[in-house]
A = this chain, B = another copy of it.
């Protein structure tokens, strides 16, 4: 009999978020789980790493717990690096990140700490999945999506992911019976229209809050946005080779 797979769980909402609690619960049905997650929320951290300050790891699970948990002072990417190099000292069989409170579909993948943790694992050669639910609230209900999380993670454990890819999985905010199924998609060409909320400090100095509106002008039915709006779970295979291969020939004609 095969030994149980080792599964690394992380996120960007912080180790106490309900989303990671749901993910841990599902992963314990599939393997031996280790959790290394930020000790505080790290949303929108992108692929940031900590090079100009120190990193702390605090073991927060009791000695007899069946899931070992570490809270880390760094970013989601730091968590993956520390987990692999300092705690496990080997590559886990799977790395899962999330379940994020809020969408990481379309262009959000670029800003997402959840996805960057998964991408970091992918770079290190570890099969990896980022999971996100289209509900930004702390009170988000993850019950409906647990069977899908289990099915997708099980599939990644048994099949091989295509080389150099990780999965970006987003769930619509729907009751379980209303979810129509799973679609493999491309990233919709949507953008954020920024709007800064300009205010003044009590001392008269201007400052800004970043806000914005998500605008999707990509009507393709093969996109993650279409899938989510039509009641499907979206899976986008994501790559970390950012080369725009189609552009190389054009640039070669530039006579530089």
If A43-B52, A210-B51, A251-B184 touch, whether A256 touches B235 (CB-CB below 8 Å) is: yes
Q: Which residue of B lies closest to A41 (CB)?
A: B52
Given the complex of chains A and B, what is the CA–CA distance between A119 and B245 in angstroms?
16
The contact of A110 among B47, B52, B186, B252, by CB within 8 Å, is B47
Do residues A151 and B256 form an inter-chain contact, with CB atoms below 8 A?
A: yes
Tell me, yes or no, whether A62 is within 8 Å of chain B by CB: no
If A155-B256, A247-B162 touch, whether A208 touches B46 (CB-CB below 8 Å) is: no
| In the complex, per-residue mask of A152-164: 1 if CB is within 8 Å of any chain B CB, else 0 | 1001000101101
Do residues A162 and B244 form an inter-chain contact, with CB atoms below 8 A?
A: yes
The contact of A50 among B51, B55, B210, B252, by CB within 8 Å, is B210
Stretch in contact with the other chain, from A29-37, A92-100, A171-179, A190-198: A190-198
Copies in the complex: 2
Tell me, yes or no, whether A143 is within 8 Å of chain B by CB: no
Do residues A123 and B86 form an inter-chain contact, with CB atoms below 8 A?
A: no
- CB neighbours (8 Å) of A214 from chain B are none
Tell me, yes or no, whether A138 is within 8 Å of chain B by CB: no
- CB neighbours (8 Å) of A47 from chain B are 46-47, 110-111
- CB neighbours (8 Å) of A7 from chain B are none
Given the complex of chains A and B, what is the CA–CA distance between A243 and B107 in angstroms?
10
Given the complex of chains A and B, what is the CA–CA distance between A241 and B237 in angstroms?
11
Do residues A159 and B254 form an inter-chain contact, with CB atoms below 8 A?
A: yes
- CB neighbours (8 Å) of A151 from chain B are 256
Do residues A248 and B54 form an inter-chain contact, with CB atoms below 8 A?
A: no
Do residues B242 and A86 form an inter-chain contact, with CB atoms below 8 A?
A: no
| Chain A to chain B: the 4 pairs with minimum beta-carbon distance, closest first | A46-B47, A46-B46, A237-B247, A162-B247
The 27 sampled A-B contact pairs (Cβ below 8 Å) are A44-B49, A45-B46, A45-B48, A46-B46, A46-B77, A50-B210, A51-B210, A54-B208, A55-B210, A78-B210, A82-B196, A85-B194, A86-B196, A110-B123, A155-B254, A162-B246, A165-B247, A184-B248, A186-B243, A186-B245, A186-B248, A236-B242, A237-B243, A237-B248, A239-B243, A239-B247, A240-B242
